[in-house]
Amino acid sequence: MRCKGLMRAGVVALITAGTLAACAKNPVTGRSQLMLVGEDQGVQMGAQAYQEIKSTEKVLPAGASFTKRVRAITERLIQANDLPNYEWEVNAFQNDEPNAFALPGGKVGVNTGMGKVAANDAQLAAVIGHEIAHAISHHGEERISQQMAVSTGLQLGSAALGLGGVGNSAQITELMGQAATLGIILPYSRTHESEADEIGLYYMARAGYDPREAVKLWENMSSMGGEKPPEFLSTHPADATRINDLNAEMPRALEYYRAAVGK
């Protein structure tokens, strides 16, 4: 009973550390966010990380056709959605992995491999819009804040176990860490992905890209196959979940699209 009480105290400390500063809101959806990292800090970290990526990855020249394509799509998304006046920087990277990213402060990167999965500009806009949504929603800063809170909570829980004279406190602390990963970090990651899917869908629609192409993109991604972990162990929703969620938002997205193209 004593051990259970101390472990419960450790878990309470973890949860408390993760909720004390939950006072920010997502600027797009209004969802409450834990934010221990300020926007200026996020922009600084994003710029630093971007420089590191550019120093290790092969950046395509500005005159490359894929670079021009990625930059044109990104600019169209920025203008159509009146996005923040960041020091936007957009580059294409010579990398066969179908991946893209957007860091805090508007640092965008798209691998050439994504161009092989995205069948047209609209599908590429779905990818870039999704990544920009992460940056605008401060998901990077939120993830860092979550990890900081969980780390603090685990330290407090471990101290409580140690002071209570529990002999296997290290093992219990490790189990608490695993529980935190499954119960806090991964679900929040899936929340971020789903949120970015929804916001990105609206971004592309307002820019005049057919939002139905976002569903086709994920169908393309799903057809690539490969082993994937169960959804509850993954930082990303299952492909089928993403497709269903996108279809649920499609009526509203189509309204934005039709208004943008004048139909």
Average pLDDT per run of 10 along the chain, which is 263 residues long?
39 44 72 77 85 94 98 98 94 94 92 94 96 88 74 55 50 49 53 91 98 95 68 62 94 98 85
What is the torsional sign of CA 61, 66, 205, 49?
negative
Predicted local distance difference test score (pLDDT) of residue 6: 37
Please give the pLDDT value at position 74: 98
> How many residues in total does the chain contain?
263
Per-domain residue ranges for the chain?
Answer: 14-261
pLDDT given at position 56: 93
Residues known to be catalytic: 131
Q: How far apart are CA 43 and CA 101, in angstroms?
A: 14
Write 9-13 long-range contacts (CB < 8 A, 24+): 9/157, 9/160, 10/153, 10/154, 10/156, 10/157, 10/158, 10/160, 10/161, 10/172, 10/173, 10/176, 11/157, 11/176, 11/179, 13/153, 13/156, 13/157, 13/160
Total Cβ atoms within 10 A of residue 5? 11
- Are 127 and 203 spatial neighbours (Cβ–Cβ below 8 Å)? no
pLDDT of residue 192: 86
